[in-house]
Structures are given as C-alpha cells and as structure tokens.
Amino acid sequence: MMRRLFLVVWLMAGAAVPALAFQPPAAQSEYVPVKDLPPVDQLPAAPLLVAAYSFIWLAAMFYLWTIWRRLGKVETEMRALEQRRSHR
C-alpha cells in the first residue's frame, strides 16, 4: 500500500520534471509593497474590489441559507414521524 502510494507520488513528481524545461517570461515571485498609490490607470479598481468582496458574502450567506432550509425540512419530517409513533 505504502509502496503504491510512493510510486504514485514519485510518478507525479516525474511528470513535473520534463515540464520544468519550459519557462515562458517570468511572473511575479514576490510582492513589492508601497505606501502610496501610483498614478491612476484607466479602469477603476474599486468597483471590482467591492464586487469581489460582496460576492463572497453573498455566496457564503446563500450556502448557509440552503443548509438551514434543508435542515428545516429534515427536522420537520423527523418531528412528523415522532408524532406518528407517539400516537400509536
């Protein structure tokens, strides 16, 4: 079992090795912090930032709401079943 796992991991590493031969132009490897904003670009960034933040709130709240709704349904059914049993 462990041997097979090791083999899988080793093969996946092996898959990475030939790919290392390919290096398109470098991307950022570190962030450079700066205290003040540089001159403004064409696209306003604030709406994008606000949209991203709002989306996370909405997505998380929506998901929590679906759990709450499904839980409500299950608990209603459980209570109905319990009632039927107690009536017998």
Residues in contact with other proteins by CB under 8 A are 4, 7-8, 11-12, 14-16, 18-38, 41, 43, 45-46, 48-49, 51-53, 55-57, 59-60, 63-64, 67, 70-71, 74-75, 77-78, 81-82, 84-85
Supply the minimum distance, in Å, between the C-beta of residue 79 and other proteins: 10
CA atoms within 13 A on the CB side of 22: 4
- Alpha-carbon torsion 30, 35, 38, 40, what sign? positive
* DSSP 8-state secondary structure symbol assigned to residue 43: S
Supply the minimum distance, in Å, between the C-beta of residue 74 and other proteins: 5
CA distances from 51 to 41, 65, 78 (A): 19, 21, 40
Supply the minimum distance, in Å, between the C-beta of residue 43 and other proteins: 5
Structure tokens at 9: 């991991």
